[in-house]
Amino acid sequence: MSNVLVVAEQRDGVVRGVSHELLTAARTVATDLGGEVHALAIGAAAPAGADGLGAFGAATVKVVADPAFAGYSGERFAAAVAEVARQGDYGAMFFAATSRGRDLAPRVAALLDVPLAGDVTGVGVADGTVEFTRPVYSGKAIATVRSTTTPALATLRPNVFPASESAAAGAVETVSVTVSDATTSTVTSFQAAGGDMDVAEASIVVSGGRGMKDPENWNLLIGLRDAIGADVAALGASRAVVDAGWRPHGEQVGQTGKTVAPKLYFAIGISGAVQHLAGMRSAGTIVAINKDADAPIFGVADYGIVGDLFDVVPALTEEIRKLRAGG
Amino acid sequence: MFEDTRSHPLNIIVCIKRTPDTETRVRIADGGASIDPSGVKFIVSPYDEFAVENALRTKEAAGNGTVTVLTLGDAASQETLRSALAMGADAGILLEGEVTQDGLATAKAIAAELEGHTADLVLLGVKAADDDQQQVGPMVGTLLGRPCVTAVSGFSVADGVATCHREVEGGTEVVEVSLPAVLTITKGDFEPRYASLKGIMAAKRKPIEQKTAASAESRLRTVSLELPPERPEGRIVGEGADAAPELARLLREEAKVL
């Protein structure tokens, strides 16, 4: 019997929704291992939402609250996570495959001297061993891997494990750790990107490519995103338009950009180069709008419209606005 | 005597990896746990090219220093090192050993070699284009006890401090780190330079040190490797703006995503 430790994803003192996805995935693994799910939150104080982690299956919510953790430091946070991990019998530990999680998890793996499976899209237990599936070769193959030692560490891709509630005790337990005073890297400033939702976190992505013809035309995509809802939808871009300076690199989807797995992905004026497909082929539903009926993007799309995007996008925006208004 | 007004020499080691070209068609080899390498074109992992480019620019800005490229792999990785030497790196190190899915085993082999070097900066691509695990850099930093900043899109070095820009969810961070440090590099403002003919010729004469990698056992076992499930056959809803109402209806009623 061993437990599963979920390292909660937080930003600005608030637990992020992806933590609920991690807990949902951890529940099935913990059940198969005959153990329970623990969550870990680290900050200057208990983050907002830590007490709600029980609703998603955390039997215990371990909170490390110390002013030393007011700002993120990979070295310091990793030492704290590793210390908590050593205190329990953990068969597996899950982190979010976000900027933060992908910075933190490898350090923890090195400290605990165990392997890490990165950007995992499937978890399970076979023959009593935790097993992970993960896309490799730009999503052109799927590897199933097992760690030969415990805990089995993984970063889990956001939006892939739909969060569902299943109440557990969720008792908040304060844990103290040794704080390393080695400050070797310091975040000196943070510039928020206008408050728009990040393309890697959004459940719906509206992406544009070279077919948009001019950066000014992005007002069409912004209109579509807003009709869907800027609280759930984000803008994405192909490499070509990022390289042309039309859109910021933070929006780039695909190789050398971000890998996304939203439930709905609009590829608008994007031909579908293999480098782009690498970043979005695991989306739930893919919609392609392109005037070239032979564009490779139609090969992966669930729904396609062949036509001039300058006609199609405004019409679609209007239809979605009507749907939303009608409930 | 003339006073040397240049800054202190800056020694940079860039860890690179030989990966299949993204355009390559992947076939699963017999045994079902690896790809069939026949007919596969190999390249320097694109993220590692960003790291090499940043190293060369940093050395050029310092006016003094070296860029050494290091790889773990088989003899064929010589070619990978030559590509980086052709871009302008000064020397190469080939650690002959097996590369597996276990990034910690890779990190241990690299860290063991780096122990013997005094490098101000160790750069790596943020991830390899084949495994896509995004882990070796911070593992190397942790094993060496050196600070590591990940997913750096650009940096500058002054007075023993690297000022790094990171794109994170919701914005851009500026992180200061004292040298020696480990940085993982992602796409930023610079495209990797193309090797010139002169660079390619010069690369042939640059030294590559070849040695056996410190062995580290892989503890992440590949149980199977499969082609991804085919996406269900898509359909063309229609042509032009007239198809928009039907598309919206399908997204709401059939796919249930709106």
A281·B186 Cβ contact <8 A = no
Say if the Cβ atoms of B147 and A319 lie within 8 Å: no
Tokens of B138: 């911070």
Residue-wise pLDDT tens digits, B34-68 = 999 898 999 999 999 999 999 999 999 999 999 99
Return the pLDDT at A327.
62
The average pLDDT across A86-99 equals 96
d(CA A60, CA A52): 11
Domain ranges within chain B, ordered by starting residue = 10-212
Q: What is the pLDDT of residue B7?
A: 58
What percentage of residues in chain A have a pLDDT greater than 70?
98
Q: Using the beta-carbon criterion (under 8 Å), do B225 and A136 form an inter-chain contact?
A: yes
Same fold, A3-174 and A204-325: yes
Model confidence at A188, pLDDT cuts 50, 70, 90, reads confident
Residue A302, SS3? coil
Domain residue spans in chain A? Answer: 3-174, 204-325
pLDDT tens-digit map of B80-107? 999 999 999 999 999 999 999 999 999 9
From the CA of A78, how many Å to the nearest CA of chain B?
Answer: 9
* CB nearest to A256's CB, from B46, B181, B240: B46
- CATH number given to A204-325: 3.40.50.1220
Beta strand B121-125 pairing with B220-226: unpaired
Tokens of A113: 């001297």
Kindly indicate the confidence band of residue A190, based on its pLDDT and cuts at 50, 70 and 90. Answer: confident
Band (pLDDT 50/70/90 cuts) for residue A283 is very high
pLDDT the model gives residue A182: 67
Say whether pLDDT at A187 is over 60.
yes
Contacts of A106 in chain B (CB under 8 A): 103, 134-139, 142
Residue B189 has a CB neighbour count (10 Å cut-off) of 10
CB contact under 8 A, B236 and A305: yes
Average predicted confidence (pLDDT) for chain A? 94
- The answer to whether A9 touches A31, Cβ cutoff 8 Å, is no
Q: Does A219 touch chain B (CB under 8 A)?
A: no
- Look up the pTM and report it: 0.94
State residue A214's pLDDT score. 97
* Cβ partners under 8 Å of residue B52, min gap 6: B14, B16, B44, B67, B69, B84, B87, B89, B123, B192
d(CA B38, CA A254): 26
Strands A285-290, A303-306: pairing kind: parallel
pLDDT value at A11 more than 90: no
Q: Which residue among A146, A306, A319 sits closest to B221, beta carbon to beta carbon?
A: A146
Nearest by CB: A274 against B23, B105, B225: B23
Instruction: Report yes or no: A304 at the B interface, CB cutoff 8 Å.
Output: yes
- What is each CA distance from A107 to A79, A178, A217, B87, in whole angstroms? 8, 17, 43, 31
Residue scoring higher pLDDT (A187 or A55):
A55
- A-chain residues near B114 (CB < 8 A): none
pLDDT tens over chain B, length 258 residues: 444 444 578 999 999 999 999 888 899 999 999 999 898 999 999 999 999 999 999 999 999 999 999 999 999 999 999 999 999 999 999 999 999 999 999 999 999 999 999 999 999 999 999 999 999 999 999 999 999 999 999 999 999 999 999 988 878 899 999 999 999 999 998 899 999 999 999 999 999 999 999 988 999 999 999 999 888 889 999 999 999 999 999 999 999 999
Place of tokens 């807003």: A226
- Cβ partners under 8 Å of residue B23, min gap 6: A274, B41
Give dist(CA B207, CA B202) in Å, integer: 10
Q: In the numeric block, which tokens belong to residue B62? A: 């310092």
What pLDDT is stored for residue A252 in this prediction? 96
Of A102, A110, A274, which has the smallest distance from its Cβ to B134's Cβ?
A102
Query: At residue A2, does pLDDT exceed 60?
Result: yes
Domain B10-212: which topology? Rossmann fold (3.40.50)
Say if A78 is an interface residue toward chain B (CB within 8 Å): yes
**Topology of A3-174 in CATH?**
Rossmann fold (3.40.50)
CA dihedral A92, A96, A101, A106 (to 10 degrees): 40
Q: What pLDDT sits at residue A183?
A: 62
Are A137 and B142 an interchain contact pair (Cβ–Cβ within 8 Å)?
Answer: no
